[in-house]
Amino acid sequence: MSSFEAAGASGLVGVPRGQLRLMVRVARLYHEVGRRQADIASDLHISQARVSRLLKRAAELGIVRTTVTVPGGVHADLEEALEERFGLGEAVVVDALGGEHDVARALGDAAAGYLESTLMGGERVGISSWSGNLLATVEAMRPSQTQVAEQVVQLLGGTGVPGVQLQANRLITLFAAATGAMPVLLPGPSLLGTVEARRALARDPAVEQVSRLWGALTTALVGVGTLKPSELLEQSGSGVSEADQAVLRAAGAVGDVCLRFFDAAGSLVESAVDQRVLGISPSQLKAIPRRIGVAGGARKVSALRGALLGGWVNVLITDSDAAEQLLA
């Protein structure tokens, strides 16, 4: 918000009175009256370029001073601190009170707003399966009047118990409906029983057709999980078993993105579990220019920190409590 103020005389020494008067006149018309630069130029019989120069000079001399008033519920300081601490391209922090479903709803609303304002067309988006936060995101997205994405591609197998599989498919179809993108589903479960089964399925032409698209993605939309599977993944029948969780825990795993588990420093935890995942590889994921992580809540702070330190995401949408703990 800009405001017009009278500046002290010390900053105006050497400025001709006629120029000073015109500068003040232009500043008042622009900032207080709300006139457009083109209209001011016409009224005062000067060029629009000169109006722009006078406004810039008025700011340099302190005649016009800019202040930003942060409304309640906006956490600009936390967002900027997260961006600086973890080298993020952008952070979005929202208030989220209540249980996990309330947090998911708040994060979904924030992520939907972020996507609606940053998807500008021509995007190829990859989206993970089995995330309640992502499901809340696509449910909150409003249909765009123009096509803002070309494709939306599943990053992780979405086949599971039929009733739950519908939710994984809804992630893709709702996003496609809101953005005008062509949906591409990955036919297969997210986690196979054996390494051999995963290798055989990965060679299937239908699966290969999807995996070839991962290298051309411009944006990834992912959740950040903990060792305990998300509610959707657990119900799908494709979740990580308790035995596998024990193996991962012993290896130092604290969280995952697309079932690629990492430790507290963000380094990939190599295990037999990793070799059974039907989905985008860590190197393919990290090659995507914009990787948006939507996650929050106290129980996910360790996983979030690992995801940030390891560069698994470079845009974060989270809640204020989690943000403060990440910065503590």
Pairing status of strand 315-319 against strand 90-94: parallel
CA-angle at 110, arms to 105 and 113, nearest 5°? 125
- Whether the full predicted model's pTM is greater than 0.75, yes or no, is yes
Look at residue 99 and give its three-state secondary structure: coil
Neighbours of 45 (CB within 10 A): 6
Domains and CATH numbers, the chain: 2-66 (1.10.10.60), 76-327 (3.40.50.1360)
What integer is the mean pLDDT of 232-241? 70
Tokens 């992630």, residue? 171
pLDDT of residue 90: 94
Average pLDDT, the chain: 90
Query: pLDDT tens across 163-182, in order?
Result: 666 777 889 999 999 999 99
CA 224 to chain centre: 12
What integer is the mean pLDDT of 151-161? 86
Query: pLDDT tens across 6-31, in order?
Result: 444 446 777 888 788 899 999 999 99
For 220, half-sphere exposure in the C-beta direction (CA atoms, 13 angstrom radius) is: 30
Dihedrals φ, ψ of 117, to 5°?
-90, -10
68 pLDDT tier (thresholds 50, 70, 90)? low
Calpha distance 156→191 (Å, rounded): 9
Calpha distance 134→311 (Å, rounded): 19
The CA–CA distances, whole Å, from 150 to 153, 181, 202, 293, 309 equal: 10, 5, 24, 21, 31
Residues 6+ apart with CB under 8 A from 126: 152, 153, 154, 155, 214, 217, 219, 220, 221, 280, 288
What integer is the mean pLDDT of 192-213? 96
Tokens 């016409």, residue? 42
Question: 156: which DSSP letter?
Answer: B
Residues 6+ apart with CB under 8 A from 232: 129, 130, 131, 132, 135, 164, 167, 168
Q: Of 278 and 65, which is predicted with more confidence?
A: 278
239-246 long-range contacts (CB < 8 A, ≥24 apart) are 239/191, 240/191, 240/273, 244/273
What integer is the mean pLDDT of 128-151? 93
